Structure 1
Amino acid sequence: MAGNFYSVECPDCENEQVVFDKASTEVACAICGHTLARPTGGKARIEGEVTETVEAR
């Protein structure tokens, strides 16, 4: 099973960054370092606002 890529907006600095929905490591914002996604063993917990699906598989 493949996952999806989402464009996520950082709640602190409003930077948009692409995040994989099954991330196996923490994903931090490239600008301010706020954690955008945390791994849970399956789908990652997204901690920003998902603005769009970049690539659905």
Structure 2
Amino acid sequence: MSSPNPLDSYIDSVGSALGLTIDPAWKPAVRANLEVSLRLARQVDECPLPDETEPASVFSA
């Protein structure tokens, strides 16, 4: 028997906090999406930026 994925309890907790009912059939897809999002966030977080970096300007028409 494999150990439960920690993201499953996170999905349950966040769903409950947001008042969302997540169908058990959708949990694997939700977990896969969350894994991709977390992997991409880790890559952004690992990108070093100098302290003097400024945010981009916002232009609107």
Q: If the length of structure 1 is used for normalisation, what is the TM-score?
A: 0.26
Q: Which has the higher contact order (CA 8 A, sep 6+)?
A: 1
TM-score where L is the length of structure 2: 0.26
Q: Which has the larger helix fraction?
A: 2
